[in-house]
């Protein structure tokens, strides 16, 4: 991140004016300033109602009044932000408001900001804080050109003071929300990393750092995977000089005998397509084909930071799909850990082979309450849903509904897609138990049908995040190529349903 941001809280009752401060006042659509904000404004000698009218300020979300060096007030600047109507005050709105504020502040050289809160809940205040952090993220570690000195140079560190009614309550909400932010930024960092710097070995070392937070982390190498019989997983990486790895991260914060929740991520650190090589155009984006695994690592970091009261196991399958003399070929028949055989039709349908063995391993070893996997799996899901929604496939209606609700709460939206036996015939093979692709039509669905053959009767959901995991359009809370999709979604899902 190129900016450092620090948030502290202070009771409104102990408010005192500071000449170096920029004050931010929040106004609902059609409303007036809150009590403290009005007290500050009154000392400017401006009539707020008249000024708002002259500026066409109605309180719509994102509207702004910028009052520089107001008279009779020591403050450097007053900014009045519109936050929309009361009916629009959902959690995601406050996160977006935080992003809009961060964008606005970055246009100035102000580095000491006070935001006045009185009517907002602790959760909404924390969401705004999250938006500030998420907006200011950037991935520039490999840039050698430094910002030029001069009037356009922005401050490297911005200090925010949240003036609130209850410092203790807000601090607790902020702590939980910042845990989600940190997990999201970890996921962004991982997806943004170039593949020459982040192979399976390097990725597994990132996972091992979670042990510093109390996580039990085990790394399985190719010898271990071969012993387990993971022929599908190993086939994908056999054309790469970099060894495949599987990492199991265990957080046991729940009751001893409670079945765990297992979250699984596809971690293909680079996907050339293998022998069925991809077109050169946009192949550089395939450094992000480990977006599912990145989300799992970010999520596990989050739950460790906030000391989750659930038993959660995160598993990532890490490998690289390259064309080489040792690479697997179209026409090969490989044997999965489950014993089922797979005819390889296209070596670029590799993520499902990785997940097939990891899913089987998870359901067999951990006997989970349910499993959720995330994967940048198919271009077909992007044809159907674009980059606004991730595809959700599930064999369990209750699980699917809980995930859909978490998507709406977190802003990381899901759309449920069908699972139906009618699609199974499209992946039946003449020579093996199944094929790894069903052809052009219904590609996201046939991929999900393929995965379903490796979950047995365990409640399971597959999230195809190919359209939301990287390369998304920029937003108020994300200016990065990688959004870190999945961390906030699954954290919201776990907190609402399993940590009450």
Q: List 373's β-bridge partners, or say none.
A: 264, 462
Residues 146, 164: Cα–Cα separation, whole Å: 37
Catalytic residue among 352, 435, 453, 495: 352
CB 247 within 8 A of CB 220: yes
**Which of 270, 276, 314, 274 lies closest to 288 in space, CA to CA?**
270
CB 348 within 8 A of CB 376: no
Residue 90 per-residue DSSP state = -
In 286-436, alpha helices (H): 291-305, 351-366, 379-385, 397-410
Catalytic residue among 278, 309, 335, 369: 278
Residues 390, 47: Cα–Cα separation, whole Å: 48
**Which of 464, 390, 219 lies closest to 318 in space, CA to CA?**
219
The SS3 call for residue 47 is: coil
Residues 429, 443: Cα–Cα separation, whole Å: 16
Residues 470, 466: Cα–Cα separation, whole Å: 7
Burial class of residue 163 (count of CB atoms within 10 Å of its CB; 0-12, 13-18, 19+): buried
**Which of 281, 292, 283 lies closest to 191 in space, CA to CA?**
292
Burial class of residue 13 (count of CB atoms within 10 Å of its CB; 0-12, 13-18, 19+): exposed
CB 412 within 8 A of CB 486: yes
CB 455 within 8 A of CB 399: no
Residues 130, 310: Cα–Cα separation, whole Å: 24
| Active site (annotated) includes residue 242 | no
Q: List 158's β-bridge partners, or say none.
A: 5
- Longest Cα–Cα distance of the chain, Å, equals 84
Burial class of residue 85 (count of CB atoms within 10 Å of its CB; 0-12, 13-18, 19+): middle
Residues 25, 113: Cα–Cα separation, whole Å: 11
| Active site (annotated) includes residue 278 | yes
Active-site residue list:
278, 352
């Amino acid at each position: 991140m190129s900016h450092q941001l620090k948030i502290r809280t202070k009771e409104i009752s102990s408010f005192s004016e500071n000449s170096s401060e920029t004050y931010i006042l929040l106004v609902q659509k059609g409303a007036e300033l809150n009590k403290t904000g009005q007290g500050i404004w009154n000392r400017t000698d401006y009539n707020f109602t008249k000024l708002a009218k002259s500026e066409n300020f109605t309180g719509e979300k994102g509207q702004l009044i910028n009052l520089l060096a107001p008279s009779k007030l020591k403050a450097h600047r007053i900014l009045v932000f519109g936050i929309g109507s009361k009916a629009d005050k959902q959690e995601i709105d406050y996160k977006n408001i935080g992003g809009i504020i961060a964008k606005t502040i970055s246009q100035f050289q102000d580095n000491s900001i006070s935001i006045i809160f009185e009517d907002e809940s602790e959760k909404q205040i924390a969401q705004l804080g999250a938006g500030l952090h998420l907006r200011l993220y950037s991935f520039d570690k490999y840039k050698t050109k430094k910002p030029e000195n001069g009037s356009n140079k922005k401050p490297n560190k911005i200090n925010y003071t949240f003036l609130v009614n209850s410092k203790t309550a807000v601090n607790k909400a902020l702590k939980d929300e910042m845990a989600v932010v940190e997990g999201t930024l970890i996921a962004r960092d991982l997806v943004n990393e170039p593949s020459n710097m982040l192979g399976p070995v390097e990725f597994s070392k990132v996972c091992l750092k979670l042990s510093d937070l109390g996580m039990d982390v085990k790394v399985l190498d190719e010898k271990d995977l071969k012993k387990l019989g993971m022929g599908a997983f190993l086939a994908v990486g056999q054309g790469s000089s970099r060894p495949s790895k599987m990492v199991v991260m265990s957080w046991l914060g729940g009751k001893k005998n409670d079945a765990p929740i297992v979250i699984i991520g596809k971690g293909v650190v680079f996907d050339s397509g293998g022998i069925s090589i991809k077109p050169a155009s946009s192949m550089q984006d395939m450094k992000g084909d480990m977006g599912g695994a990145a989300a799992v690592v970010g999520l596990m970091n989050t739950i460790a930071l906030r000391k989750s009261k659930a038993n959660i196991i995160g598993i990532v399958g890490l490998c690289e799909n390259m064309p080489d003399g040792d690479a697997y070929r179209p026409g090969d028949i490989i044997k999965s850990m489950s014993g089922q055989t797979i005819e390889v039709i296209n070596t670029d349908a590799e993520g499902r082979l990785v997940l097939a063995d990891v899913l089987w391993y998870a359901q067999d070893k951990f006997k989970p309450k349910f499993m959720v996997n995330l994967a940048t799996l198919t271009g077909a899901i992007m044809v159907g849903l674009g980059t606004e929604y991730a595809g959700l496939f599930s064999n369990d209606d209750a699980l699917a509904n809980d995930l859909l609700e978490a998507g709406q709460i977190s802003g990381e939206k899901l759309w449920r897609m069908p699972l139906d036996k009618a699609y199974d015939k499209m992946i039946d093979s003449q020579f093996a138990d199944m094929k790894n692709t069903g052809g052009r039509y219904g590609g996201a669905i046939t991929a999900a049908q393929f995965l379903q053959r490796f979950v047995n009767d365990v409640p399971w959901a597959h999230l195809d995040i190919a359209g939301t995991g990287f390369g998304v359009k920029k937003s108020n809370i994300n200016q990065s190529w990688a959004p870190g999709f999945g961390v906030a979604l699954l954290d919201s899902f776990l907190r609402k349903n399993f940590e009450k």
